[in-house]
Amino acid sequence: MSLQLQKWLKPVLPLKNKFRVIKTLQFTFTTQITLVIILLFSAGNIVIFRTTSERLIRNTHLRNRDQVTGLVNNINQWKESTVLLMDTLSKQPGIINLDSTQIDATLRQVTRLTPDRVWRVFDREGSLVYTSLDSERTPHQKRLLELRHKDYEGFKKARNGQFSWSVAFLQAGIKTEGCLSADQPILKSASPGGKSDVIGTLSFCLPLEKLGAAVGIAGTDQMRSDETLSDQVTPNSPGATQGPDYLEFHRGDYKGRVTYLIFESGNIVFPTATDSRFVRISIQSPRRLSTTAWGRLNKLVTRRGNFNTFQEINLDGNTLLTFAMTSSAGNSNWIAVNAIDKQTIFDPLNKALF
């Protein structure tokens, strides 16, 4: 029996070895196919990511350029119309006479049409002749306003016969808020055809968070769309569930986007923001601002006069894409800057692929 069993087992043992080899080959072949599929999928994703990334960067650049161009066009028109209005008002007899009753009659219609602005008239020495804000008419508030106004660069330039824009302060109850101040010299000639002398200044103060609404550009820096990827965040739009994603370096936030203006004085103003989150940055002195991340960004953006061109900037280890353009209308040279970080650009793509 044992001899027969051995003879029967001899052909069976090689058969088991063959099955083992076949299984090993099957596993190896399956693994190879799986690895090839994974590699092809990864390579495909890399190709798709690279192609889409290039398109995203290009579209972001073009969109930012178009946005800044439209913003500057709006601002130029607004500045020109404002300068024309201020010049026309300053030549009205009621204002030239520096009589508060006559000034009130002259500006009544204007103040009704511009409820966000505080209108004021000062004489050459800086004494307040007229204000459209009732709370500034008390002796105490009037004195405080006069002392503060005499130090404004805008008032100093207007007293020397030059229209100017500046960042000033507006008292709102117990708070001091920032505002955009426009100062127009009031001229009067001693004799017809004679030399005109500055006898006072006409000015208005517009809260900084109201500037975008006045110009017609409020919230426009938060609009983003693409042919296949979209992330729309527009104020008061149907279905909007989240607030605007702003770059806020002063809060340690380097993610998002923002559009702002650099004034000739060095102050920066955020015309598209619809709230007061940036006001304390705007009212900082240019010297103090230069030591912050905003000041460092301004220096990088404006170096060598790189305007109307796209830039990739490294700020404190964060990559930003920027576009800058000058606004030279309205007796002033402002620089409009749009900045967005790379992570914000690629977030929708990363979510779609990974």
Instruction: Summarize pLDDT for 41-60 with one digit per residue, the tens.
Output: 555 555 555 666 677 778 87
* 276 in any annotated domain: yes
- Domain that includes residue 125, residue range: 82-208
Residues 307 and 204 in one domain: no
- The pair of structure tokens assigned to 84 is 């024309």
Residues 227 and 192 in one domain: no
* 227 in any annotated domain: yes
**What does the pLDDT average to over 208-212?**
91
Tens of pLDDT, residues 56-112: 778 878 888 888 898 899 999 999 999 999 999 999 999 999 999 999 999 999 999
pTM: 0.77
User: Are 168 and 283 within 8 A, CB to CB?
Assistant: no
* 125 in any annotated domain: yes
User: Are 81 and 330 within 8 A, CB to CB?
Assistant: no
User: Are 230 and 322 within 8 A, CB to CB?
Assistant: no
* 18 in any annotated domain: no
Residues 238 and 159 in one domain: no
**What does the pLDDT average to over 244-254?**
89
Which of 81-90, 142-151, 233-242 has the lowest average pLDDT? 233-242
Residues 226 and 297 in one domain: yes
Residues 118 and 267 in one domain: no
CATH number of the domain that residue 191 is part of: 3.30.450.20
CATH number of the domain that residue 294 is part of: 3.30.450
Residues 108 and 74 in one domain: no
Residues 137 and 219 in one domain: no
* 168 in any annotated domain: yes
Nearest to 185 by CA among 156, 142, 206: 156
Residues 90 and 189 in one domain: yes
The residue out of 192, 208, 224 marking a domain boundary is 208
User: Are 284 and 290 within 8 A, CB to CB?
Assistant: no
Number of domains in the chain: 2
* 161 in any annotated domain: yes
Residues 255 and 311 in one domain: yes
Residues 160 and 222 in one domain: no
Nearest to 103 by CA among 92, 94, 112, 90: 94
